[in-house]
Structure 1
């Protein structure tokens, strides 16, 4: 049974929790950028992000009705694939935040639902109608406006890292969708941490080192707010359906813009103001069409056959 089925119909709680999640993740990414400026390697940031989340995950499993027996799974090949893709995507996203202004990297990350829909059509052979194909094409127009190929406003390398990060993140959503047929989100998160922490520990040992007290605070902030964001994202899905809370994800751009200006003195360029609404609008339309599609499927499954 999916987590959504276990939750209550509390849309306001779901929306507020999701808004809190976006703020937490925006703070985490600000710490990622600050740590990067202090010379912290991206794999070290990833290690502390995962290490701090692990006790929280264990606590949630312990407090759940099923308890520790719930972590049993016969989908370990999928969990390993999800872990490999997930940590690769997270690493690229962290790196993009280090290379680009926060608002720019966040805007490019909004292409994930566009890529996910494209992959679902090409890989999972899901039926995608003309409306969603149109939204995909319009979304890519927004991407071109933001990154301006051949321009100089956004570093080409940083934009490429962010785009590849969005591509890999979209592939992760497909694997999670497959796991979601039999696994709860907390089980998926647990095995994600289990399978990624050993490799990250080795990388942190190789690339890590001594830091100033300020830098250790940045790493602590990455772990704490990353874990809080992970918890609140999961909890928001227990309060309300995805179609209700996903639009709240785009508030991350507000926080990224504010932190970028206040902390790093980075003001979004005109291309962000022009391209971001197009990308966000495309993503919202895709989310709405997914909601319509799932609603029709539910009705078809509930209605008796005449």
Structure 2
């Protein structure tokens, strides 16, 4: 089977992407439970990243081998780790401060931030479709957050939105790294640099844990790393624009976990605002896929 034949399996790509989102949604639920058990955010960050290292090595040894981890760009990986740690801190903080469904919905604004960043940093021209998506997306945010009269803490909403902004910013970094590095190499060095960076703060926040709390931390590391590996694997069989629609299934998992663990369901404002944010993300993904296809045709002609 050729590489192109191996990649052209869109149904498998969608299934893998669904599994990735389920794993990451599980991680978010476990993070929220860990926060309720007063486990410090910095400690959660450390174990989330440190546990990833042996999992990645076990994945690589029987497949491509550890030689796949070689890199000639340690500086870029270090910068990615700095940005990544800030992003994880904000995203994990949003999960702890907000109901799970609302925190998940706020994360859907990452494509909207990406459009704004592409204009500011990459000097890309933004057309009518994407500007309309940005406006509709932020309208959805306002409906959910309801400044001045919401059930949501505005600090939590701001933290979650800042986390989505960091995801968009990091995506630009990763796009640059992907030109020279393999996806699992990027994940491994991110985990390595961030684990080393978190060792010193860990001494100040580490506390004794019950067996249940250790299982929570282990579950966060396993589910988070599994989600990252599955996200990478999905792109072997399908294109980003084809599989990204599955990311919105995270709202389903967040709603289920919220009901099962906390006996809460999102209010009407979330169900009104969330479709606007999701629709905005889908329009942006479709438009960027369309523009990329036009660009390829122009270059080939």
Q: Report if aligned partners of 1:8, 1:239 keep a CA contact under 8 Å in 2.
A: yes
Deviation (angstroms), 1:46: 1.1
| RMSD (Å) for aligned C-alpha atoms | 1.7
SS across alignment from 2:195 = helix
The residue aligned with 1:95 is 93
SS of equivalent residue, structure 1 residue 274:
helix
Deviation sequence 1:51-97 (CA, Å, 0-9, x none): 111112223443444x4443333333322221111111111111111
Q: Which residue number corresponds to residue 291 of structure 2?
A: 293
Q: Cα–Cα, structure 1 residues 109 and 6, in superposed 2: closer, same or farther, change >3 Å?
A: farther
Determine the structure 2 residue equivalent to 1:284.
Answer: 282
Partner Cα distance (1:212, 1:7) in 2: 46
Per-residue CA deviation, residues 95-150 of structure 1 (Å, 9 max, x unaligned), is 11111110010000100010011101111112221211111111111111111111
Q: Does the Cα contact within 8 Å between 1:7 and 1:237 map onto a contact in 2?
A: no
Q: TM-score under structure 1 normalisation?
A: 0.93
Aligned positions of 1:116-155 closer than 5 A: 116-155=114-153
Q: Distance in 1 between matches of 2:147 and 2:156?
A: 12
Alignment of 1:63-102 (within 5 A): 63-65=62-64, 67-102=65-100
Matches within 5 A, 1:224-239: 224-239=222-237
Q: 1: CA distance between counterparts of 2:221 and 2:5?
A: 28
Number of the residue aligned with 2:210:
212
Listed as ranges, the gaps of 5+ residues in structure 2 are: none
Aligned pairs (5 A) from 1:49-68: 49-65=48-64, 67-68=65-66
Q: Hey, what does 1:47 align to over in structure 2?
A: 46
1:169: how far off? 1.5
Distance in 1, matches of 2:281 and 2:4, equals 24
- In 2: Cα distance, 1:52 partner to 1:94 partner: 17
**Residue number among 206, 219, 222 corresponding to 2:220 in the alignment:** 222
SS for the counterpart of 2:71 is coil
**Aligned partners of 1:77, 1:122: CA distance in 2, in Å?**
24
CA distance, structure 1, for counterparts of residue 271 and residue 130 of structure 2: 23
1:239 Cα deviation from its structure 2 partner: 1.2
Cα distance in 2 for partners of 1:290, 1:7 equals: 24
3-state DSSP of counterpart to 1:70: helix
Q: Which residue of 2 is the match for residue 35 of structure 1?
A: 34
- Paired residue for 2:252? 254
1:178 to 165, 176, 198: 176
Measure, in 2, the Cα distance between the counterparts of 1:70 and 1:197. Answer: 20
Structure 1: which 5+ runs fail to align?
none
Q: CA deviation at 1:157?
A: 1.1
Deviations 1:158-201 (A, max 9, x none): 11111111111111111111112222211111211121111222
Distance 1:268 1:238, change over 3 A: same
- Partners in 2 of 1:273 and 1:126 — Cα distance? 32
Bigger drift between 14-23 and 146-155 goes to: 146-155
Q: In the alignment, which residue of structure 1 is the partner of 2:201?
A: 203
- Measure the CA separation in 1 of the matches of 2:191 and 2:6: 24
Q: State the distance in 1 between where 2:72 and 2:295 align.
A: 28
Compute the TM-score of the two structures, normalised by the length of structure 2.
Answer: 0.94
What CA distance in whole angstroms lies between the structure 2 residues aligned with 1:6 and 1:76? 33
